[in-house]
Amino acid sequence: MSQELDFQQLKVYFGDNLIDFSDAKLPIASSAVLYGLSVYSVFAVRKTADGMKAFRLTDHFTRLIESAKIIGIDDFAKKWDYEKFEKAVSQLVSENNIDQDVFIRCSVHVDTLVAGTKSRGLNSVLSMFIYPYKSILPEAGARIKTSVWRRVPDNSIPPRAKVNGAYINSVLGKQDALDSGYDDCLFLDMAGHVCELSAANIFLVKNGVLITPDSTSDLLEGINRKTIIEYAKDLGIKVEQRTVDLTELYIADELFACGTSAWLTPITEVDGRKIDSGNHILSKKLSKLHLDTLSGKSKYSDKLLTKL
Ligand code: PMP
């Protein structure tokens, strides 16, 4: 695993240049600061036997483009294409001499000054910084609690778009869970169905079937979620993407969270109900496969990793 990284000493990508961390600044009058008008993605860059590689980089770029499109940040797609993006990521990693697993956070900020509450026709700037590869959940297993806050619905602030400002919803949920002694929150939608955690998707296993809320359940369509579904289908495991009730989680055989920063983490407790006495056999199998993929050792690695 990674040694602690002094990420503030590294160069960051800002606009079209690599500059010092402390020089990358957004104006206080920009829409990014005033309204949280930025979209972002976080992706893993892993050390493999064949050098540093990014996981599903094209998917992350596509999600940035689609998030910007949903919100109406039209400047981004005019300035960036995938080739330019991959080159910038490569440059960031190589010029910082990165030789360990890291995360890269890439954001597209609207930096026009006092533009008012609109999104189209404004200027955007891309930022990327490297930071330590640490999970946001306890690796051995997470205890979660149903949030007192509901997930923002698609017709309010769409969770399908990864918009910085929308993460206030996640902050409220996560803090409520931490205040109550849990590791993370479980968001329900306005109808009371299961959505996701504060920054991870959720899966349950019941009688050998892998079940996860479908993509219209007010959630972020996670790139790891998509990958887990692909593995499961290849392994001949039945997968259901559908509306999920809270009580299905209480009686699940296994439960796990997945996401770039949550890795694939077993969930051992929901609202005081213990899950699977800690066995999580299928979760562990999928987790092992996923770790092998990320580190360049599975049959999926060639397809899903981009050499930087
Ligand atoms: N849901 C939310 C709200 C998230 O912030 C994340 C992390 N990006 C995920 C799910 C998982 O997405 P991914 O697998 O693409 O990291």
Nearest Cα to 47, choosing from 301, 303, 273? 301
Q: Is the pLDDT of residue 278 over 70?
A: no
pTM higher than 0.75, yes or no?
yes
Size of the chain, expressed as the number of residues it contains: 308
For residue range 139-184, what is the model confidence (pLDDT) as tens digits? 999 999 999 999 999 999 999 999 999 999 999 999 999 999 999 9
> 146 CA distance to ligand 1 centroid (A)?
18
> 170 CA distance to ligand 1 centroid (A)?
11
Which residues have C-beta within 8 Å of that of residue 132, sequence separation ≥ 6? 2, 4, 5, 7, 102, 103
> 262 CA distance to ligand 1 centroid (A)?
8
Query: What mean pLDDT comes out for the span 185-209?
Result: 97
> 201 CA distance to ligand 1 centroid (A)?
6
The number of beta carbons lying within 10 Å of the beta carbon of residue 154 is: 16
- Which residue CA neighbors atom 7 of ligand 1 most closely? 199
Cα angle 257-93-84, degrees, rounded to a multiple of 5: 95
Q: If one looks up domain 7-132 in CATH, what number appears?
A: 3.30.470.10
Q: Residue 1: its pLDDT value, please?
A: 47
Query: What mean pLDDT comes out for the span 273-289?
Result: 90
Q: Residue 279: its pLDDT value, please?
A: 84
Q: Which percentage of the chain shows pLDDT scores above 90?
A: 97
List of long-range contacts for 8-13, beta carbons under 8 Å, 24+ apart = 10/96, 10/129, 10/130, 11/92, 11/95, 11/96, 12/92, 12/127, 12/128, 12/129, 12/130, 13/88, 13/91, 13/92, 13/126, 13/127, 13/128, 13/129
* Tokens found for residue 63: 């999600």
For residue range 187-197, what is the model confidence (pLDDT) as tens digits? 999 999 999 99
Q: How confident is the model at residue 3 (pLDDT cuts 50, 70, 90)?
A: low
- At the topology level, CATH places domain 142-294 in D-amino Acid Aminotransferase; Chain A, domain 2 (3.20.10)
On the CB side of 267, CA atoms within 13 Å amount to: 33
Ligand 1 neighbour 152 (Cβ under 6 A):
no
Q: Residue 43: its pLDDT value, please?
A: 98
Best residue among 260, 263, 286, 287 to mutate for probing ligand 1's pocket (most ligand atoms within 8 Å of CB) is 260
CB 246 within 8 A of CB 192: yes
Q: Return the ligand 1 atom nearest residue 201 CA.
A: 10
Nearest Cα to 108, choosing from 146, 150, 134, 80? 80
> 114 CA distance to ligand 1 centroid (A)?
30
Q: Is the pLDDT of residue 2 over 90?
A: no
- Where do we find the tokens 């996981």? 55
Query: What residue segments make up the domains of the chain, in order of their start?
Result: 7-132, 142-294
Ligand 1 neighbour 67 (Cβ under 6 A):
no
Q: Residue 4: its pLDDT value, please?
A: 81
For residue range 67-121, what is the model confidence (pLDDT) as tens digits? 999 999 999 999 999 999 999 999 999 999 999 999 999 999 999 999 999 999 9
